[in-house]
Structure 1
């Protein structure tokens, strides 16, 4: 059985393997052992309440219970931009008009923004290509909502998620070539690596402080503003089904869209409920497919099961209860995968 759990120090080697499969462009999962080790340590310290809110971040992994292999990763940053600036571009407009000439032009622009400072962020979502089948992607992405529902007080009012922007098979980003490369004088991969390893001061030092006219960018760059990488398109669809929307903010490196939603409006958070466990026989498979998680802060687990989310209890097998670290009568949090994905 596949299940979500907190990342541990001994996951490092397998996370390095995962990082090597991203193909670039996933800034928060660099192929750098020291950075990933520090990320895991920061997550553990967050769970131990040993860090201030500005430094807190949770890292979860998807484990194949049959092989004990880590095949996916996802994370939540508690409050971005409180310790160091969190940048994106806002896609806006400027108007140039002349009554005398009867000319009225509306020109789209990119303006450097810190508007999402203090938001919680969904990040570092990556699933091993060999496991992109069934509902593994749903489990990996949506499990974070059960954690946020269980521990709502630990997160901010607005949640954002940066979607990976469009890059070609050679790792080239047309948005970067038309924007970033002109200010940073380095390759997309080099800037991506620096940012992923925490070396972000160059952004504030070199990024343009004035609006950029989109019309001055190459046609290729204009076409990918707000466009999601094909491998990330399913993740975007999952978030949009939960209530997230693109509100004209894009990544400063690859032009990928930033999605956002009020935390209390996220479907899985809003509709999740607690039900007691009844350990018995496995339920029928014609029941809705649901996310089921415990409310153990230090030993959080989530699985996908066919259960009745509207009944008086959740019937689990002993094996399922063992994975969720629960006993007879313990409360579990449950929500359907989505309104349109009710059965396995």
Structure 2
């Protein structure tokens, strides 16, 4: 069994290890001890605070824990409103037309324009499942359990939810897209630029980024080929989000050109289809489908997935006492649940 819960101080060593294991391009979790400690502190504060009716600049970080061994299997997070304190940059891909009626010439060209269009959006981030646990439903639940939290706590988040997908880079952290920017504007390698952004030092972006739109056909062919493409390890995460209704609107990361996908919070499949069910305690689980379920708490949020029986007419769910204890609920209490796909 496993449980997804808010991160705690005791998880510091595991989160630092995950930062190391995640490798280059995992901007939201750079290998920096002070930053890791601050992320945990900020998460604990975010889960405790009452935000009222408007989203705040909060970060919610979860861990997946093996309930038998106590080992941390992975992590995932949600930023409530990006770009409120630090500029949140993207490139947006659009087209321009070069047309001469007199010469009967008509050409279109793609351009990359630096923007802050996603300022204020909520962001799914910091998803990483450790190697020994990449099997079964673990990855899907670690990602999708966040939708139960979003569905139950909509006032904490924006109407628009985004996810930045890691772009193409090799094992050494070399990005074909960044290589072109490095050669022409930055004189910084990709791992260094990515690390600086991860620890919040973003001033260099405004100082050194090209100030005008960039014509895509002026980039190296290697850079052009990876625009909007994801790292091979990120492809499953992208497919999962697409199944939930996320789509790409032409925004890419300014460092590796990986796509940023978006969805309206209320239209995310697992948000839209999740319902509240009353708990019934049984001795043995029955059913054919995996059900993802969580309690209705914030600071004491707990989520898991089991093969369970949902009664959609009576709005009840049958679970064992063991699962109820994991979720910190009891008979007669409500949980939020949805079929896992």
**What TM-score do you get using the length of structure 2 for normalisation?**
0.96
The match for 2:23 is: 23
2:147 pairs with 139, 145, 148, which one? 145
Contact persistence 2:82–2:120 (CA under 8 A):
yes
The match for 1:314 is: 317
How many angstroms apart in 2 are the aligned matches of 1:201 and 1:181? 19
Q: Name the CA shift for 1:95/1:132 in 2 (closer, same or farther; >3 Å).
A: same
1:161 pairs with 163, 176, 180, which one? 163
- Deviation for aligned residue 1:197: 1.0
How many angstroms apart in 2 are the aligned matches of 1:158 and 1:53? 12
Over the residues paired in the alignment, what is the CA RMSD in angstroms? 1.4
How many angstroms apart in 1 are the aligned matches of 2:251 and 2:276? 35
Q: Name the CA shift for 1:293/1:181 in 2 (closer, same or farther; >3 Å).
A: farther
1:120 pairs with 119, 122, 132, which one? 122
- For the residue of structure 2 that corresponds to 1:231, the secondary structure is helix
- Deviation for aligned residue 1:179: 2.3
The match for 2:297 is: 296
How many angstroms apart in 1 are the aligned matches of 2:336 and 2:296? 7
Number of residue equivalences: 337
The match for 2:184 is: 182
How many angstroms apart in 1 are the aligned matches of 2:209 and 2:177? 14
How many angstroms apart in 2 are the aligned matches of 1:246 and 1:281? 45
Determine if the alignment matches structure 1 residue 12 to structure 2 residue 15: no
- Deviation for aligned residue 1:303: 0.4
How many angstroms apart in 2 are the aligned matches of 1:196 and 1:207? 17
Q: Deviations over 1:192-233 (max 9, x none)?
A: 111111111111221122100110111111111000111111
How many angstroms apart in 2 are the aligned matches of 1:309 and 1:203? 50
- Deviation for aligned residue 1:5: 0.2
- Deviation for aligned residue 1:54: 4.4
1:330 pairs with 320, 329, 333, which one? 333
* 119-128 vs 163-172, which moves further: 163-172
Contact persistence 2:274–2:336 (CA under 8 A):
yes
Contact persistence 2:169–2:256 (CA under 8 A):
yes
- Deviation for aligned residue 1:8: 0.6
Q: Name the CA shift for 1:50/1:170 in 2 (closer, same or farther; >3 Å).
A: same
How many angstroms apart in 1 are the aligned matches of 2:64 and 2:32? 20
- Deviation for aligned residue 1:31: 1.2
Determine if the alignment matches structure 1 residue 271 to structure 2 residue 273: yes
Q: Name the CA shift for 1:120/1:181 in 2 (closer, same or farther; >3 Å).
A: farther
- Deviation for aligned residue 1:180: 4.5
- Deviation for aligned residue 1:97: 1.4
* 312-321 vs 326-335, which moves further: 312-321
Contact persistence 1:175–1:225 (CA under 8 A):
yes
Alignment of 1:1-344 (within 5 A): 1-49=1-49, 53-284=55-286, 286-311=287-312, 312=314, 313-338=316-341
How many angstroms apart in 2 are the aligned matches of 1:320 and 1:41? 28
* 196-205 vs 143-152, which moves further: 196-205
How many angstroms apart in 1 are the aligned matches of 2:183 and 2:6? 37
How many angstroms apart in 1 are the aligned matches of 2:48 and 2:182? 38
How many angstroms apart in 1 are the aligned matches of 2:298 and 2:56? 19
Q: Deviations over 1:89-122 (max 9, x none)?
A: 0011111111222111100111001111111000
Which blocks of at least 5 consecutive residues in structure 1 are unaligned?
339-344
- For the residue of structure 2 that corresponds to 1:115, the secondary structure is coil
- Deviation for aligned residue 1:55: 2.5
How many angstroms apart in 1 are the aligned matches of 2:2 and 2:182? 40
Q: Name the CA shift for 1:309/1:179 in 2 (closer, same or farther; >3 Å).
A: farther
**Structure 1 residue runs of 4+, over 6 Å off?**
none
* 93-102 vs 138-147, which moves further: 93-102
Contact persistence 1:309–1:335 (CA under 8 A):
no
**What TM-score do you get using the length of structure 1 for normalisation?**
0.95
Which blocks of at least 5 consecutive residues in structure 2 are unaligned?
none
